[in-house]
Structure 1
Amino acid sequence: MGEDFWMKQSFLLKIILLFLLINILNTLSFAEDTSYGTAALMVIVERETGSITVLDTSKHTLLGRVTGLGNLNHGTVKFSKDGRYAYVISKDAFVSKIDLLTLKVVKKIKGGNESIGGTISQDGKYLIMSNYSPGEVRILSSDSLENVKVISAIREYEGGRIQSSKVVGLVDAPGNLLIFSLMDSNGIWVIDAGEKDFPVINKFWDIGEKPFDGLITPDGRYYLAGFLESDWFGLLDTWEMKEVKRIPTKDINNASEKNTVPLWKIPHLKGWAIAAGLAVLPAVQREAALIYDTKEWKLIKELPLIGTALYTVASPDNRYVWVDLVGKNGDIIQVIDLKSLEVIKTFSPGKGATHPQFTSKGDTVYISLMDEDKVVVYDPSTFEKVREFSLKSPSGIFSVDRIYKFGM
């Protein structure tokens, strides 16, 4: 064999080795970028800095921070159906799509003037914004964030007067439906997101004064709206879609209903308040949790608290509900036992304690300390702190496992 043959063989060998080296480097790079999954991640809003921090709750480690996301004084986070992407919706209506494996913003758009939240459609195709200004539901492609449709939240009265309304309490529901409340015109609308033109298929009016939020039960059957100026909740059975029933919020035998306090903050309603056949809901301007039997939707107890509730969050085993308080005793968390229907623990994790969020099986619970620039992690079985993280003005805590739940 001649010298040319060996030169050709040597050149070919070099090409093969180079190809193998490139593949090895690409594999190492991919492994580095995807050295964690997304199922156990929590995204925490840093409200004063327009940023989020991402934590891996399987190891209780901080993965990184993403900045430049807009005004997050009322920021919210939604997730793609596969758990790969987070959508951060800012108060000034910026939407940032973030790759949770690289912690990079892959797309950012402006979707209005002022937004209060959003949801992901049941099929995962759409990100839907609930906007204050202009009052509307804005439907975006979850892939490209391109605008698909805008539905103005308006009510036309007899005589031709038209009332525009802020949109609150937006949830996704079975059948690829979207349900929301109209804060300024006292209505509930239902949209079919499975149809190409997104028709509003139901409108219910005069349901109560000033709806402020809404939830859908974990099974997707009942939509519940809360009101600032009416002594009831509005309950819509999505299996029937016939009427919005009034569910009283006051027990005539309980004197605490007269002891109103300032509206420190508007409470939040979420499906995590439903557990063990009960709904544990914050009372508006009263220091109490309202406990309902969800079979008959009867108020069975008004449980006194030492402050006004902001969130009522059930543990994954449905045994306990953790309640954060605002205004008086705003540093306190109270824990309700759903067996005895009593408060069994009152403690202070720190200043500005808010937004308790359980890991998926409830082995730990994360709590923001807004006034201490910390997030603390507790063992709910012992109430002992097991970890803390330094963050900048943390507030809302959003776990990726919300993608498996309606209305989250």
Structure 2
Amino acid sequence: MIRFAALALCAALLAPAAHAGSQEAPCCATGDLGLIVERASGSLLVVDQSERAAIGRIEGLGDLSHASLVYSPDERFAFVFGRDGGLTKVDILTQKITGRVMQAGNSIGGAISDDGTLIAVANYEPGGVRVFDAGTLEMVADIPTGSKTIGLVDAPDRRFVFTLWDAGETWIADFSGDAPKITKVPGIGKNPYDALIAADGRTYIAGLFGEDGLTALDLWDETPEPRRILPGYGKGREGLPVYKMPHLEGWALAGEEFVLPAVGQHEVLWVDARDLTETARTKTHGQPVFAMSRPGGRQVWVNFAHPLNDTIQVIDTRSHEVIHELTPGPAVLHMEFTARGTEVWVSVRDADRVDIYDAATFEKIGEIAAKSPSGIFFTARAHRMGL
């Protein structure tokens, strides 16, 4: 327990400095830490990966029923996007809130610019995107859209990309100059509900709820044009009730294939990442919510919507076949791999715990008590685009 003792000492040393408003450098590293959203209590659980243990709790973050967060480049600060429109900045070393603004009535996620200076938040009410200074949380831009705004991601060169549910458009906001420049791309499709960006920042894919298919943009083009992919993938089959929409930022890129959850179907779709053509389909236990690639791309782990949300399936990326199944417990909401993929942490909301598995052997190697846990976010995310 030497490491835990060192962390405890660090927290003790930081506390007086934080109380006095000191900006002295912290005494601890952040690379082994993470945050778990406790959705029912409006709190964040601070965890240590090596200890497989909780080391603190940050409270007072409002409605976290659909919360996500991003990290500053130094991994010390997290910016939390609450469903109630709250944008909260927390210090994971002092385990305190350092800033909070109620920026909208209903928020659905956000992103941090590639240089770490801007925080963008996507809003349902009043719609649009608002952009804030990462240091002060002062608003620097208000981009009204007249629509619910979804699929907000960061893109290279201080750009943000987001999509409009009502208008079926994708907007690209470029903050590289003195004033933001907005490029509007119409013709995305009916009711786009979420989106992802590839790790190289080139391909942006929006999923469509109002029609069968998805739409891709090549962000390297001077004037990106929408390209429909997998049109009619559910043709000839009755769509099942959708109890929970897939989270497309959890789509996997495994090797040279995207792995995409099929809306209203019990399957995942495999798409060639180079030419965006379908390569395979895998039947699954239920309607996929997250399809997440283990670092290295050897496996994809999938969880499912209610009422089949007690199960995780592991798919081999070469054979496209399910090779293992786990049943952690009621309401598996989220999964997060450690940076090199040795472990996967799983939130089991209705059991009030997070389970930890060896990603190679599938053996359960630990668990942590948590209050209705949902999203799990390790600090390694600070160095990855689109998360």
Same structural fold, with TM-score higher than 0.5 when normalized by the shorter chain: yes
Shift of 1:275: 1.7
Shifted more, 263-272 versus 329-338: the winner is: 263-272
Q: Distance in 2 between matches of 1:26 and 1:293?
A: 47
Shift of 1:230: 1.5
Shift of 1:317: 1.4
Equivalent residue in structure 1 for 2:68, among 64, 68, 76:
76
- What amino acid sits opposite 1:286 in the alignment? Q
Shift of 1:26: 11
Structure 1: give runs of 5+ residues left out of the alignment: 1-24, 154-163
Q: Which residue pairs with 2:13 in the alignment?
A: 29
TM-score (norm 2): 0.92
The answer to whether the 8 A contact 2:71-2:382 is kept is yes
Shift of 1:66: 0.7
Q: Which residue pairs with 1:327 in the alignment?
A: 306
The structure that has the greater radius of gyration is 1
Shift of 1:249: 5.0
Q: Distance in 2 between matches of 1:300 and 1:181?
A: 27
SS of 2:351's partner is coil
Does 1:225 find its partner at 2:206?
yes
Q: Which residue pairs with 1:208 in the alignment?
A: 189
Per-residue CA deviation, residues 4-48 of structure 1 (Å, 9 max, x unaligned), is: xxxxxxxxxxxxxxxxxxxxx999825999564211222111111
The answer to whether the 8 A contact 1:85-1:98 is kept is yes
- Going from structure 1 to structure 2, the CA distance change for 1:149 and 1:286 (only over 3 Å counts) comes to same
Q: Distance in 1 between matches of 2:94 and 2:334?
A: 26
SS of 1:270's partner is helix
Equivalent residue in structure 2 for 1:310, among 286, 289, 292:
289
SS of 2:248's partner is coil
SS of 1:330's partner is coil
SS of 1:258's partner is coil
Does 1:385 find its partner at 2:364?
yes
Per-residue CA deviation, residues 313-353 of structure 1 (Å, 9 max, x unaligned), is: 00011110100011242100011100111111112011111
Does 1:43 find its partner at 2:27?
no
SS of 1:179's partner is strand
Q: Which residue pairs with 2:346 in the alignment?
A: 367
Shift of 1:354: 2.3
Shift of 1:59: 2.2
Shift of 1:250: 4.2
Q: Which residue pairs with 1:126 in the alignment?
A: 118
Q: Which residue pairs with 2:57 in the alignment?
A: 65
- What amino acid sits opposite 1:140 in the alignment? F
Q: Which residue pairs with 1:353 in the alignment?
A: 332
The answer to whether the 8 A contact 1:192-1:198 is kept is yes
Q: Distance in 2 between matches of 1:35 and 1:140?
A: 28
Structure 2: give runs of 5+ residues left out of the alignment: 1-8, 18-25
Equivalent residue in structure 1 for 2:160, among 168, 178, 197:
178
The answer to whether the 8 A contact 1:283-1:309 is kept is yes
Q: Which residue pairs with 2:3 in the alignment?
A: none
- What amino acid sits opposite 1:387 in the alignment? G
Q: Which residue pairs with 1:195 in the alignment?
A: 177
Runs (4+) of structure 1 moved beyond 2 Å? 25-36, 249-252
Does 1:238 find its partner at 2:219?
yes
Equivalent residue in structure 1 for 2:322, among 335, 343, 353:
343
- What amino acid sits opposite 2:252 in the alignment? A
- What amino acid sits opposite 1:182 in the alignment? L
SS of 1:306's partner is coil
The answer to whether the 8 A contact 1:332-1:353 is kept is yes
SS of 2:340's partner is coil
Q: Distance in 2 between matches of 1:171 and 1:295?
A: 21
- What amino acid sits opposite 2:13 in the alignment? S
The answer to whether the 8 A contact 1:182-1:188 is kept is yes
SS of 2:381's partner is helix
Q: Distance in 2 between matches of 1:98 and 1:385?
A: 31
- What amino acid sits opposite 1:394 in the alignment? P
Shift of 1:356: 1.1
The answer to whether the 8 A contact 1:249-1:299 is kept is no
SS of 2:131's partner is strand
Query: Aligned Cα RMSD in Å?
Result: 2.0
Does 1:397 find its partner at 2:381?
no
Shift of 1:261: 1.2
Q: Which residue pairs with 1:156 in the alignment?
A: none
Q: How many pairs are equivalent?
A: 370
Identity of counterpart residues, as a percentage? 38
